[in-house]
């Protein structure tokens, strides 16, 4: 057992997390051979699951052969288990054998797989059919939901009224009237835990139409009152100004005076103008209302005293009320249709018998809340004593609620459990990940069982310069962001950033410390004249130069990875490198890249050609599909694209012949089923001959197979499905492909590369332009009480009753950015190279990452050995660089071997042939019957029957099944009777001995030998092979082989016989 029942490993990047998990698993699994059945190891991705399984099996295989106490793992296992090396080898062999013989009980799985297993066992309790389908594509579900909702508008007056009112309001505000987009944006919340946390409360509230109507009336009444109040205040201010003979420009500031805001009061769209920080409190500072040199100071003072100061003091509170009311109103109309979305979702899940992947955590949370842990185990059919949970920083609140009862049950019995995670790598908050669980909540909730916290602080991945740079940067950057939060967002307690990074410092592994090359960090700050777009273009233009430099230093393409924040950036990098490679065909450097976006199946001209052909067949009146098909076909075939190509007769013989051929086949193509249709189109257009894109065609066909497996295989249905799937389907590339990777930071987690390039090391930290939505309780006036409302994050919330919600989102957004930077930089083993825009540090608001990073890198912060980061910043070139380039060397490993994609397709009609046997009604069989030859039927009877009685029963079966008539049955009975009068034949069906009929003998090469009949007596065995037709030379060697195999298996004397049924002759075969 572990030293403490519950251990939390805080595992920083590159600190050997997989090694640690493997070691702890083996400590538990090696207690006895079947102990592994009581251990559940949970990871978050299929890849991590596979990696951990392979690592465990590899270590068990190694240990069973040899135990080396000099190795840390072996030494730890010997010490923990308190056994000798010989005993450890025996235990490893036993455990490995047990796992391989009961692999299903080898419980290393993703958290989703484990939860789904429990849910399937509770299918009846939660009203699910046992064979439900797990739906992973929630975006497709949402599309179907919105369409169903729109189609049901005419049948529901309440829904119709809400949608019409919403459309009118959108038009009045200059927005698009189509509500689908907004409904989808809010509807996506159906799958988020932030919504599910309040789901039942929201459902209950929305059950009554009057509740929403009441909110809307209250909000609209408040809105009108506030606008009226703003108008009234403006009139009062204007009256005071006029009575004192003043204009607004007479006040301090002239044409840009703060007093102009009085004139803006009462505007219908925003009746209370924003008061800047410097203008707050002017109602208490009359001296700030006029310039010292003004000749109208007495009049201004009088106007202030008469009421302008009081009016000014009311603007800020009223603006807060307006912002609060507008925040509620913003999503109110779409919220009105939320009830219908919830209803349609339940109907859809029931009709299609699906369970959404997002529902799994929700269901399990309810199951574990209402049942004792032993009952859950009983339903699942397995009892776990130990839980090892990986990547715990990405665990959601619902997942923890589901796991906690099981964990507590285990801990209460004294069993060892552990969690592994790193709050600094928590980058999946948008997916429900809750870093506070690892940071503080788990220790607070389970402290009574005794917790041992271990910090894995040795970095085995990166070279020394990178480790020291990370230590220095992430000791300083959290403090910089805390300052921004305090200044820009008025957040007084942002300590969570410092707490998350309090243990950020890592040690360099001894092996890396001795490396002759110490690593490089280089961040170039690029100057641009104007916009962010200019920086984007600058960074793009520098990428080919960087690749040439890196490959010139000896790095192969597969050693290099580009990390990006968005898919758009990844596409731009791929296009830049591909274009550069095409423009420089003679370059000795490779510009090949691999990315999901670059390898989208839909980007293939071949696939686009096939899809256009399919669309044409469904809509022959629409010529655009046909013309699109010919455009892509011309590009693939190498024909020039011109206006003539799209004419009925192009004048190009090959093109015109192909057009005529395709048009002639259109009607016959429509009669084919989907899979045959695709094959036929590819064949007709000759697309299989385009070797460059065969991989895309194969991937497209895989998509079709997947569609056909779960849907009705009709063409319109497939095209609708493809519209949703085309941006998700990519070609799978082997890991060893020698090309540069382009990944988002989120997808790079868990990976490592010799070189990491970040061309765009800058983004908006708290990006409210994406309009993120949060759910929050709010106390409404009157009888409504507390209501759960959807809020769209925007800056106005800072001055509203939702200020704390806004500040919390801002705080977590800054922590998200900090974690993203940490994950990105720690992917690098040897070199980290990035580009960022230069900032004016005196004027910037620090809303983007780059200025915060630049400020930290320019300042004096300790890098170790009395050296600071600022010492490495070249203020002339605007470049930060720690370390040097490695010595140039020739790339190793040789060129990547290209294997051509093989394309082979045959018509299914060519692969089928009808087999004529004596047991059917073919012409051949009829001739056999006419001749009275029933050898094949007799052979079939003999190989199935064990005794004489069974022979008669089988014969009657042939008659009742229609294979023989009465006359033929009697003829067969007569022939069998003659055979049974042979003493040897009769003995075989007397019931004496143990009979094996048509049993296969498995050979070492995997092939089978199948004698017709083997009879085992006490002192011998007999092998019988029945034959029809003429005698053949191979018959005797065949029986001898059977005899040899039976003798080898049983060590009994063996006799062999050949029985010719037509001639009724039995031959004994010698050895």
Place of tokens 């459902």: 203
- Are the CB atoms for 738 and 558 separated by under 8 Å? yes
CA torsion, ordered 392, 393, 394, 397, to nearest 10 deg: 80
CA–CA separation, 489 and 485 (whole Å): 5
Phi, psi of 996, rounded to the nearest 5 degrees: -120, 115
- Are the CB atoms for 520 and 884 separated by under 8 Å? yes
3-state secondary structure of 762: coil
CA–CA separation, 1061 and 1042 (whole Å): 19
How big, in percent rounded to 5, are the helix, strand and coil portions of the chain? 55, 15, 30
Residue 534 is encoded by which pair of tokens? 């200019």
Place of tokens 């990098």: 573
Number of C-beta neighbours around residue 575 at 10 A:
14
- CA neighbours closer than 13 Å in the CB half-sphere of residue 168: 6
The response to whether 13 counts as a known ligand-binding position is: yes
The response to whether 14 counts as a known ligand-binding position is: yes
Helix (H) or strand (E) holding 722: helix 715-725
Residue 803 is encoded by which pair of tokens? 């200020």
Tell which phi-psi region holds residue 583, choosing left (phi > 0), alpha (psi between -120 and 50) or beta.
alpha
Number of H helices, E strands in the chain: 42, 29
Q: How far is CA 76 from CA 55, 68, 643, 853, in A?
A: 17, 11, 75, 42
CA–CA separation, 701 and 718 (whole Å): 12
Number of C-beta neighbours around residue 839 at 10 A:
18
Sign of the four-CA dihedral 635, 638, 643, 649: negative
CA–CA separation, 941 and 954 (whole Å): 6
The response to whether 519 counts as a known ligand-binding position is: no
CA–CA separation, 399 and 365 (whole Å): 7
Partner residues linked to 828 by β-bridges: 753
CA–CA separation, 1053 and 267 (whole Å): 109
- Are the CB atoms for 522 and 832 separated by under 8 Å? yes
Helical ranges in 553-652 per DSSP H: 567-583, 605-618, 623-637
- Are the CB atoms for 450 and 417 separated by under 8 Å? no
- Are the CB atoms for 606 and 693 separated by under 8 Å? yes
Tell which phi-psi region holds residue 787, choosing left (phi > 0), alpha (psi between -120 and 50) or beta.
beta
Partner residues linked to 1058 by β-bridges: 1025, 1067
Segments of 274-370 assigned E as strands: 354-356
Number of C-beta neighbours around residue 1012 at 10 A:
19
The response to whether 16 counts as a known ligand-binding position is: yes
Number of C-beta neighbours around residue 1011 at 10 A:
24
The response to whether 12 counts as a known ligand-binding position is: yes
Residue 542 is encoded by which pair of tokens? 């520098």
Burial of 1035 (0-12, 13-18, 19+ CB in 10 A): middle
Provide the pairing of β-strand 1013-1016 with 354-356.
unpaired
Q: Which of 989, 966, 965 is nearest to 977 (CA)?
A: 989
The response to whether 15 counts as a known ligand-binding position is: yes
Phi, psi of 1025, rounded to the nearest 5 degrees: -125, 120
Q: b/e per residue, 608-645, with b = 16+ CB within 10 A? A: bbbbbbbbbbeeeeeeebbebbbbbbbebbebeeeeeb
Binding residues for ATP: 11-18
Binding residues: 11-18
């Amino acid at each position: 057992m572990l030293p403490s029942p519950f251990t939390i490993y805080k595992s920083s990047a590159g600190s050997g997390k997989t090694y640690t998990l493997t070691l702890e698993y083996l400590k538990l699994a090696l207690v006895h051979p079947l102990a592994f059945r009581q251990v559940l190891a949970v990871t978050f991705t299929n890849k991590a699951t596979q990696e951990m399984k392979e690592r465990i099996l590899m270590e068990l295989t190694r240990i069973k052969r040899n135990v080396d106490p000099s190795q840390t793992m072996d030494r730890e296992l010997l010490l923990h288990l308190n056994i000798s090396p010989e005993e450890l080898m025996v235990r490893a062999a036993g455990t490995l054998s047990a796992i391989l013989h009961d692999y299903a009980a080898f419980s290393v799985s993703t958290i989703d797989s484990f939860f789904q297993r429990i849910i399937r066992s509770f299918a009846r309790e939660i009203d699910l059919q046992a064979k439900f389908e797990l739906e992973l594509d929630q975006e497709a579900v949402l599309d179907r939901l919105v369409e169903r909702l729109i189609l049901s508008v005419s049948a529901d007056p309440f829904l119709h009224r809400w949608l019409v009112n919403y459309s009118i309001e959108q038009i009045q505000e200059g927005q698009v009237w189509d509500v689908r987009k907004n409904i989808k944006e809010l509807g996506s919340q159906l799958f988020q835990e932030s919504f599910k946390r309040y789901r039942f409360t929201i459902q209950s509230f929305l059950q009554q139409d009057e509740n929403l109507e009441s909110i809307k009336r209250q909000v609209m009444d408040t809105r009108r009152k506030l606008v009226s109040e703003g108008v009234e205040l403006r009139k009062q201010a204007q009256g005071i100004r006029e009575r004192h003979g003043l204009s607004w420009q007479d006040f301090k500031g002239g044409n840009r005076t703060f007093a102009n805001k009085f004139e803006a009061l009462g505007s219908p769209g925003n009746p209370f103008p924003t008061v800047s920080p410097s203008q707050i409190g002017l109602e208490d500072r009359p001296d700030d209302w006029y310039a010292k040199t003004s000749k109208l100071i007495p009049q201004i003072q009088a106007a202030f005293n008469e009421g302008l100061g009081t009016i000014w003091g009311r603007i800020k509170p009223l603006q807060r009320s307006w912002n609060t009311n507008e925040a509620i109103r913003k999503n109110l109309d779409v919220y009105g249709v939320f009830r219908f979305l919830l209803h349609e979702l339940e109907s859809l899940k029931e009709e299609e018998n699906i369970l959404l992947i997002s529902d799994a955590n929700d269901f399990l949370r309810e199951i574990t809340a209402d049942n004792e842990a032993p009952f859950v185990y009983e339903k699942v059919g397995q009892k776990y004593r130990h839980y090892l949970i990986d990547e715990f920083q990405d665990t959601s609140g619902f997942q923890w609620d589901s796991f906690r009862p099981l964990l507590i049950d285990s801990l209460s019995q004294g069993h060892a459990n552990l969690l592994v995670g790193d709050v600094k790598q928590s980058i999946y908050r948008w997916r429900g990940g809750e870093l506070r669980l690892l940071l503080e909540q788990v220790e607070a909730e389970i402290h009574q069982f005794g917790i041992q916290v271990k910090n894995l602080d040795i970095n085995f991945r990166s070279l020394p310069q990178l480790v020291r740079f990370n230590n220095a940067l992430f000791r300083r950057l959290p403090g910089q962001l805390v300052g921004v939060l305090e200044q820009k967002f008025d957040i007084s307690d942002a300590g969570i950033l410092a707490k998350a990074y309090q243990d950020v410092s890592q040690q360099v592994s001894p092996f890396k410390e001795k490396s002759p090359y110490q690593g490089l960090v280089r961040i170039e700050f690029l100057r641009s004249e104007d916009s962010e777009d200019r920086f984007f273009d600058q960074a793009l233009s520098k990428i080919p130069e960087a690749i040439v430099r890196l490959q010139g230093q000896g790095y192969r393409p597969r050693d290099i990875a580009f990390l990006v924040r968005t898919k758009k950036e990844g596409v731009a990098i791929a296009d830049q490198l591909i274009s550069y490679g095409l423009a420089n065909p003679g370059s000795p450097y490779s510009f090949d890249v691999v990315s999901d976006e670059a390898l989208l199946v839909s980007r293939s001209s071949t696939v686009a050609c096939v899809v256009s052909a399919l669309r044409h067949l469904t809509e022959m009146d629409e010529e655009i599909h046909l013309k699109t098909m010919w455009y892509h076909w011309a590009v693939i075939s190498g024909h020039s694209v011109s206006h003539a190509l799209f004419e009925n007769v192009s004048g190009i013989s090959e093109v015109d012949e192909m057009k005529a051929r395709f048009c002639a086949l259109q009607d016959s193509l429509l009669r084919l089923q989907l899979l045959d249709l695709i094959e036929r189109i590819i064949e007709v257009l000759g697309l299989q001959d385009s070797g460059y894109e065969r991989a895309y065609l194969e991937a497209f066909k895989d998509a079709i197979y997947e569609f056909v497996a779960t849907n009705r295989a009709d063409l319109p249905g497939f095209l609708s499905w493809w519209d949703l799937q085309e941006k998700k389907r990519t070609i799978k590339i082997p890991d060893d492909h020698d090309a540069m990777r382009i990944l988002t930071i989120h997808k790079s987690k868990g990976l490592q590369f010799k070189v990491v390039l970040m061309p765009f090391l800058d983004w908006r930290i708290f990006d409210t332009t994406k309009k993120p939505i949060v759910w929050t309780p709010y106390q409404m006036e009157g009888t409504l009480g507390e209501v759960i409302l959807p809020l769209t994050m925007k800056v106005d919330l800072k001055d509203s009753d939702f200020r704390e919600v806004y500040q919390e989102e801002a705080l977590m957004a800054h922590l998200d950015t900090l974690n993203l930077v940490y994950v990105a930089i720690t992917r690098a083993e040897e070199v980290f190279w990035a580009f960022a825009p230069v900032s004016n540090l005196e004027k910037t608001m620090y809303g983007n990452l780059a200025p915060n990073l630049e400020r930290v890198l320019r300042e004096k912060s300790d890098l170790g050995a009395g050296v600071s980061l600022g010492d490495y910043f070249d203020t002339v070139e605007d470049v930060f660089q720690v370390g040097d380039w490695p010595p140039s060397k020739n790339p190793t490993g040789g060129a990547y071997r290209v294997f051509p994609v093989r394309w082979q397709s045959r018509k299914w009609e060519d692969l089928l042939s009808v087999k004529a046997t004596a047991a059917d009604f073919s012409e051949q069989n009829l001739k056999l019957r006419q001749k009275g030859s029933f050898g094949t039927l007799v052979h079939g009877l003999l190989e199935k029957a064990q005794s004489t009685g069974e022979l008669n029963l089988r014969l009657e079966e042939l008659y009742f099944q229609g294979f023989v008539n009465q006359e033929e049955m009697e003829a067969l009975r007569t022939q069998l009777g003659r055979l049974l009068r042979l003493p040897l034949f009769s003995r075989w069906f007397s019931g004496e001995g143990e009979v094996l009929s048509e049993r296969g003998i498995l050979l070492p090469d995997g092939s089978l030998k199948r004698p017709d009949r083997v009879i085992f007596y006490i002192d011998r065995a007999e092998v019988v092979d029945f034959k029809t037709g003429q005698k053949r030379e191979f018959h005797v060697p065949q029986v001898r082989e059977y005899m040899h195999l039976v003798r080898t298996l049983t060590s009994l004397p063996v006799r062999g016989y050949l029985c010719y049924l037509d001639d009724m002759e039995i031959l004994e075969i010698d050895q």
